[in-house]
């Protein structure tokens, strides 16, 4: 009888570890979902600000310059950028596009506009997303480790007998924990590029 109690408690403890780690994954994913709109909106706010500054500068030049003269060239962030960023976020929130597609699209937009790419808002965005994806990867890995211990216990003798008697359930592994949903290497390369651009921009 003592043997039965021991194995029942042992397997139950392993099962609770699996449930806890799976919950931790859900919390990390929900945190990402809550964080994403805040980060994207901060970048959109930067675009709004830059567009407003640019328009005021153009208005001032137009008042100063005589008719028919060309305005000096100036880097600008078209209002379409804001719409692109907002549209990408809405598609992801509706489940119409994978996360990595949305993030790749945002990076592609930033590549076209140095002002956006080197802005503090965008660099914070990249840092937060890197940290969030790393946390999700860590949580998924811990879940798989807990599940491996549990699965081993209910598969090997005599645990397999007790698993059938007490009807311990099985759980699914996360298939790809070798990298987070948004590839870590791509983030690292992109972030290094942003940091370098920022240093060059400040050095000019």
- And the tokens for 189? 């390369």
Of residues 183 and 168, more confidence is placed in: 168
The pLDDT tens digits for 15-64 are: 999 999 999 999 998 998 888 888 788 777 777 666 555 455 444 444 44
3-state percent helix, strand, coil for the chain, nearest multiple of 5: 80, 0, 20
What's the count of helices (H) and strands (E) in the chain, helices before strands?
7, 0
Q: What is the pLDDT of residue 49?
A: 66
Q: What is the pLDDT of residue 2?
A: 85
Of residues 130 and 145, more confidence is placed in: 145
Ranking 48-62, 72-86, 103-117 by mean pLDDT, the lowest is 48-62
Task: Using the predicted structure, report yes or no on whether residue 165 has a pLDDT greater than 80.
Answer: yes
Average pLDDT for residues 163-177, to the nearest whole number?
86
Q: What is the pLDDT of residue 41?
A: 80
Of residues 10 and 175, more confidence is placed in: 10
Radius of gyration of the chain (CA): 26
Task: Using the predicted structure, report yes or no on whether residue 158 has a pLDDT greater than 80.
Answer: yes
CB 136 within 8 A of CB 182: no
Q: What is the pLDDT of residue 11?
A: 95
Task: Using the predicted structure, report yes or no on whether residue 74 has a pLDDT greater than 60.
Answer: no
**What gap in Å lies between CA 145 and CA 20, rounded to an integer?**
12
Q: What is the pLDDT of residue 170?
A: 93
Measured in whole angstroms, the distance separating CA 94 from the mean position of its chain's CA atoms is 16
Task: Using the predicted structure, report yes or no on whether residue 82 has a pLDDT greater than 70.
Answer: yes
Single out the residue of 96, 86, 107, 105 nearest to residue 42, CA to CA.
86
Q: What is the pLDDT of residue 189?
A: 46
Q: What is the pLDDT of residue 13?
A: 97
pTM above 0.75, yes or no: no
Ranking 40-54, 73-87, 187-201 by mean pLDDT, the lowest is 187-201
Measured in whole angstroms, the distance separating CA 74 from the mean position of its chain's CA atoms is 33
Orientation angle between helical segments 184-203 and 120-155, nearest 10 degrees? 160
């Amino acid at each position: 009888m003592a043997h039965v109690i021991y194995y029942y408690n042992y397997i139950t403890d392993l099962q609770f570890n699996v449930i806890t780690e799976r919950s931790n994954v859900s919390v990390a994913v929900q945190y990402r979902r809550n964080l994403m709109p805040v980060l994207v909106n901060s970048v959109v706010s930067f675009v709004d600000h830059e567009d407003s500054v640019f328009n005021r500068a153009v208005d001032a030049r137009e008042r100063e310059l005589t008719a028919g003269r060309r305005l000096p060239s100036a880097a600008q962030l078209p209002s379409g950028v804001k719409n692109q960023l907002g549209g990408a976020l809405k598609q992801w929130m509706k489940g119409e596009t994978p996360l990595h597609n949305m993030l790749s699209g945002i990076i592609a937009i930033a590549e076209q506009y140095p002002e956006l790419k080197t802005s503090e808002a965008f660099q914070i965005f990249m840092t937060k997303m890197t940290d969030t994806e790393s946390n999700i990867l860590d949580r998924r890995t811990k879940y798989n480790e807990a599940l491996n211990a549990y699965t081993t216990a209910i598969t090997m003798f005599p645990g397999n007998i007790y698993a059938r008697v007490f009807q311990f359930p099985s759980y699914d592994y996360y298939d790809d924990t070798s990298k987070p949903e948004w590839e870590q290497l791509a983030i690292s390369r992109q972030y290094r590029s942003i940091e370098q651009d920022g240093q060059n921009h400040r050095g000019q």
